[in-house]
Amino acid sequence: MDPMNAFPAVAAPPQRIVSLVPSMTESLFDLGLGEKIVGVTDFCVLPAEGTARVPHVGGTKNPDVEKIVALAPDLVIANQEENGEAPITALGERGVAVWLTFPRSVEQALADLHGLAAIYGSRQMAMQIDWLMRSAEWVRAANGEASRRVFCPIWRDTSRDDPHWWMTFCGQTYPSDVLAACGGTNVFADRRRRYPLEAEWGEAAAEGAAGRDDRYPRVTPDEIAAAQPELILVPSEPYSFGEADQAALGCIFSARGQSEPPILPVDGRLLFWHGTHLAKSLVELPALMRQYSSP
């Protein structure tokens, strides 16, 4: 999928919206557009009362295209990373206007919201987003001097009890920029995904990415230990890390005679939900990192 950098051409401000992005669904309600939402995914759970009354169209990867078309939306909001390519392509072929978002920083995510406000000509929406933008700038400035080295896995090798690799994200991603704004330094900001998979741990020669997304590397236990994170955040999504996973992370350091950094479970929405959920991230993440960082 090729992300659209601008709002799609529409004849008038959309009055019937289907949102396939949970964070954007929450943002639409927060910005006063809840009454215009006619469809959401099964993973759109916030706000609970609002999303409960709206028809659901399936999952984020495999929404029901026919059901979406039947809702006669003026606009479908999708995301390059969260939504499957086939249904987005099918919607476009059916003549449905699709806004394919792809924010890779806090500023880009807020620019998306500003674009939405501009379509509706809403001063109130613009003021809300301006406040959020200023808050992000203030938090970034306040936490820049006290940055902690953070490792944040988002998936793991599930083929074995002692994972051969842990998936994380590089600096060209939204969660990495959220960490930076909130006082964290992504220890793998410069690490890019190597192809094929075996190249990640040196068992095969690395190939060019050739258009594939290389922003989510699979790092080895040795790399994690060498990165010397001061704090490990284990988010609740997209992979739900349990106690066994956290124990395996701790073993990476103890097996090498290193001190185990604090390992802290965290609500994944604080890192990955772009949009108005950022307001919670800017409050909760800096406090967590200050509390649990090493002396």
Which tens digits make up the pLDDT trace of 36-57?
999 999 999 999 999 999 999 9
End-to-end CA distance of the chain: 45
Residue 5 pLDDT > 60, yes or no?
no
Indicate whether 274 pLDDT > 70: yes
| Structure tokens given for 181 | 């704004």
Please name the fold of domain 141-292: Rossmann fold (3.40.50)
Q: Give the pair of three-digit tokens for residue 177.
A: 């920029």
Angle at CA 53, nearest 5°, toward 113 and 57? 70
Residue 155 phi, psi (nearest 5)? -160, 170
Overall average pLDDT of the 206-213 stretch = 87
pTM, rounded to two decimals: 0.94
**3-state class (DSSP) for residue 130:** helix
* Helices 278-292, 123-143: crossing angle, 10 deg rounding: 10
- Show the tokens assigned to 81: 């990373």
Residue 2 has pLDDT above 90, yes or no: no
User: Exposed e or buried b for every residue in 79-109, given b needs 16+ CB within 10 A?
Assistant: bbbbbbeebbebbeeeebbbbbbbbbbbeeb
Mean pLDDT of 227-252: 95
Nearest CA-CA partner of 98 in 85, 117, 108, 107 = 85
Cα four-point dihedral sign 238, 244, 248, 254:
positive
CA distance 118 to 81: 24
Cα 268 to the center of its chain, rounded Å: 8
pLDDT digits (tens, 9 = 90+) for 74-90: 999 999 999 999 999 99
Whole-number average pLDDT of the chain: 93
Whether 9 shows a pLDDT value over 80: the answer reads: no
Mean predicted confidence (pLDDT) in 204-219: 92
Confidence label for 289 from pLDDT (cuts 50, 70 and 90): confident
User: So what's the pLDDT on residue 147?
Assistant: 84
pLDDT digits (tens, 9 = 90+) for 162-207: 999 999 999 999 999 999 999 999 999 999 999 999 999 989 999 9
Quick one: tokens of 116?
Answer: 């939405």
Contacts of 44 (CB under 8 A, 6+ apart): 19, 21, 22, 25, 26, 51, 54, 56
Asked if residue 73 has a cis previous peptide bond (ω within 30° of 0), the answer is no
Name the residue ranges covered by the structural domains of the chain.
7-102, 141-292
Tell which residue, 18, 12, 9, has the closest CA to residue 71: 18
Give the 3-state secondary structure percentages of the chain, helix then strand then coil, rounded to 5: 40, 15, 45
Q: Report the distance separating Cα 110 and Cα 231, nearest Å.
A: 27
The 8-class DSSP code of residue 249 comes to: H
Q: What is the pLDDT of residue 143?
A: 87
pLDDT in tens, 128-173: 999 999 999 999 999 877 789 999 999 999 998 899 999 999 999 9
* CATH fold match for the domains 7-102 and 141-292: yes
Residue 6: predicted pLDDT: 63
Q: How far apart are CA 185 and CA 171, in angstroms?
A: 9
Helix or strand (DSSP H, E) at 213? none
Give the pLDDT band (50/70/90) at residue 293. low
Length of the chain: 295
- Classify domain 7-102 by CATH number: 3.40.50.1980
